[in-house]
Structure 1
Amino acid sequence: MKRINLYWQIRGVLRLLFRLGNWHVHGVEHVPLGGPLLIVVNHISAFEAPLVAATLQIGPIAVLAKAEFAHPLNPLGWLMRTMDVIFVHRGEVDRHAIKAALQVLRAGGILGLAPEGTRSKTGGLQRGREGAAYLALQSGAPILPVGVWGQERIPQDLLHLRRPTYHVRFGPVFTLEYDRARPKRQQLAEATDVIMRRLAVLLPPAYRGVYADVEETSGGSQ
């Protein structure tokens, strides 16, 4: 039986819900009309992926999510399986997930992930992992960096009957080129640093974490 994809229906519901808050969107002129596209976003709460999906007019977006969500007893498991979710086993090289992610990009699709690999406990950026860089170098897909902030306070604001405020900022799309003449490990490290710094400049200083030394540019946060 063919699986029903409810991406657009769920996105519509999310847009209605997020409009109840103070939803600020910046840099939409940087968003391309379609794929292939690798979307990278910071990760400090459970709301980044829903906010980005609700903000973008393109899709559907396949996302990487930890395999724990696939457990039958996880309340979000069924909902996530109705969309294009690639479950990843953390703490190991999940070749199945890597292959599935590359297939999405090579087919001209859109893939979203958090290059930090896990949620930040401090609210600031952590050191990026090499997964995003690997996918970008192997597929040649353009990268769209997205900085999201304020969403981590949604539960607390709702608890205190306050209207939440959150921001989604898109940066310029960029690409990475794989040079077969250079060491692969070195290229992955350098590309990861490029991705994380492109992401950091979109965020307010308090959210930049270990990339606090990033230089302000015209694409930076205000």
Structure 2
Amino acid sequence: MNFYRFVINIFKGFSKIFFKYEVIGAENIPDRGNIVIASNHKSNLDPIFLAAAIENREIAAIAKKELFKVKPLGFILKKLHVMPINREKPDVSTIKTILRSVRDGYVLGIFPEGTRIKGDSFGKAKAGLSVFTIKSKSKVVPVSIISKYKLFSKVIVYIGEPISFEEHFKEKLSNGDHERISQEILEVIKQNYFKYSK
């Protein structure tokens, strides 16, 4: 068992012991092919809940570079395929590394809003989700995490069906186009969030 899978098993145990943890739609994660997972982000627990839900693929995620300055945390994040990024101005080498991870078979995990948005509110999607989706020629799997984030409360990770954006792969898209596509994906996440919040 590699380090990634070892830690994911810890995440699963944590989620099931301390929460009423339920995954819906796990079959919507394809066993192969380029995939970007896009999820809402309301708590620091979201990466744990999300990673624990994906059993058939390994996730390569993006996190703000400041987290990597904390030495033990930075080491662990790298072992878990998490890549540092300057959220305000990502450099070319970082973008290439992220795209390479998708080509290498990892599922790319992204929080479209780029930061935590607490409560039942949603922010505005950043262009980055669309940029990485189009450049990596991936399908997007929308994920909605529904929880009050209190011990022993219910947690639902709803995994939607993959969405194809193949019609845009050969187009020259503006930043506004990318923001619009990212927002379309976030709207799906939002709809499923409120559907399963009831």
| 1:18-77 CA-partner distances (Å, limit 9, x unpaired) | 11120122122322123421111111111111111111112221110111110045x522
Alignment of 1:31-50 (within 5 A): 31-50=29-48
Given the two structures, how large is their TM-score scaled by the length of structure 1? 0.79
Aligned counterparts of 1:91 and 1:122: Cα–Cα separation in 2 = 24
Instruction: Give the 4+ runs in structure 1 shifted more than 6 A.
Output: none
Residue of structure 1 in register with 2:187 after alignment:
197
Greater gyration radius: 1
**Mean Cα displacement is larger for which, 115-124 or 50-59?**
115-124
- CA positional deviation for 1:108: 3.1
Aligned counterparts of 1:68 and 1:132: Cα–Cα separation in 2 = 20
Residue of structure 1 in register with 2:94 after alignment:
97
Task: Pick closer, same or farther for the CA change 1:167–1:179 going to 2, 3 Å.
Answer: closer
Structure 1 residue runs without a partner (length 5+): 158-162, 205-219
- CA positional deviation for 1:94: 3.0
**Mean Cα displacement is larger for which, 75-84 or 51-60?**
75-84
Would you say the 8 A contact 2:65–2:84 is kept in 1? yes
Aligned-partner residue type, residue 192 of structure 1 = S
Would you say the 8 A contact 1:148–1:167 is kept in 2? yes
Alignment of 1:1-222 (within 5 A): 6-20=3-17, 21-73=19-71, 75-150=72-147, 152-154=148-150, 157=151, 163-177=152-166, 178=168, 180=170, 183-204=173-194, 220-221=195-196
Structure 2 residue runs without a partner (length 5+): none
| 1:93-126 CA-partner distances (Å, limit 9, x unpaired) | 3323211111112333211010111111444221
Identity score, percent: 23
Count of residue correspondences? 195
Given the two structures, how large is their TM-score scaled by the length of structure 2? 0.88
Aligned Cα root-mean-square deviation (Å):
2.1
